[in-house]
């Protein structure tokens, strides 16, 4: 009986992070971050995002990192990318995202 319980727990951990959110819930939050930062979401959705962030250390760390990145980008001039750099960057992003 104990072996089954241990198996269930490990299965549950693979579908949920330690804080109880599923990967899908976290991804849904991350998909809405731009609109959230721009204040383009209904108040109820913003409340759900704030609630999730308060309970999800992984998303909270990601959001803080994103805020810092945006701040750094606003204070540094970007140089134009060549066509080859754009292609390489796009390929790197797709590869990191697991796209075929």
Q: Choose between 78 and 16: higher pLDDT.
A: 78
At 52, the pLDDT band (50, 70, 90 cuts) reads very high
Using the 8-state DSSP alphabet, how is residue 79 labeled? P
Give CA–CA dist 51/55, Å, rounded.
6
Residue-averaged pLDDT of the chain: 80
Looking at residue 46, what is its pLDDT? Answer: 93
Structural domain tally of the chain? 1
Task: Please give the pLDDT value at position 19.
Answer: 61
Beta-bridged to residue 16, according to DSSP, are: 22
- Provide the whole-model pTM: 0.54
Tokens standing for 11? 């299965």
Mean pLDDT to the nearest integer, 32-44: 90
Beta bridge partners of 22: 16
Please, are residues 89 and 81 in contact by the beta-carbon 8 Å criterion? yes
Q: Which domain holds residue 37?
A: 2-97
């Amino acid at each position: 009986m104990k072996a089954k319980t241990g198996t269930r727990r490990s299965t549950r951990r693979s579908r949920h992070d330690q804080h109880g959110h599923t990967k899908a819930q976290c991804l849904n939050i991350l998909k809405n971050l731009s609109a959230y930062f721009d204040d383009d979401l209904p108040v109820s959705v913003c409340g759900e995002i704030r609630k999730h962030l308060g309970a999800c250390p992984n998303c909270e760390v990601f959001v803080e990192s994103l805020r810092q990145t945006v701040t750094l980008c606003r204070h540094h001039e970007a140089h134009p990318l060549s066509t080859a750099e754009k292609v390489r960057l796009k390929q790197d992003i797709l590869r990191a995202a697991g796209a075929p």
